[in-house]
């Protein structure tokens, strides 16, 4: 072999073989387990709302929060529950 000495080809060959085994190991990794299904199905969700309906609901919930004088975390929690219909 011209230009490649025996001492440099061995590490290159070892690296190529190592990469081949590493890729084989990754290819055989099993897929992660799926989480268990919930015990009880939640109530059916209402049909999807249009963007204008969502905006109107958000405004109503904000107005209700203003009327109650809510700020910060309490306001955020109230608005979230309000928009979910709770």
Domain range summary for the chain, segments of one domain joined by +: 50-86
Question: CA torsion, points 65, 66, 68, 73, in degrees to nearest 10?
Answer: 50
Of 76 and 45, the structure prediction assigns the larger pLDDT to 76
Query: At a CB cut-off of 8 Å and minimum separation 6, what does 68 contact?
Result: 78
Q: Is the pTM of this model over 0.85?
A: no
Q: What percent of the chain has pLDDT over 90?
A: 37
Separation between Cα atoms, residue 23 and residue 10, nearest integer Å: 20
Q: What is the pLDDT of residues 32-64, one digit of tens each?
A: 677 766 666 555 555 688 999 999 999 999 999
């Amino acid at each position: 072999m011209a230009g490649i000495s025996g001492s440099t080809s061995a590490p290159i060959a070892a690296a190529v073989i190592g990469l081949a085994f590493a890729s084989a190991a990754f290819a055989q990794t099993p897929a992660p387990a799926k989480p268990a299904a919930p015990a009880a199905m939640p109530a059916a969700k209402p049909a999807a709302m249009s963007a204008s309906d969502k905006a109107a609901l958000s405004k109503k919930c904000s107005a209700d929060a203003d009327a109650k004088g809510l700020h910060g975390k309490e306001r955020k929690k109230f608005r979230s529950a309000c928009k979910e219909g709770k």
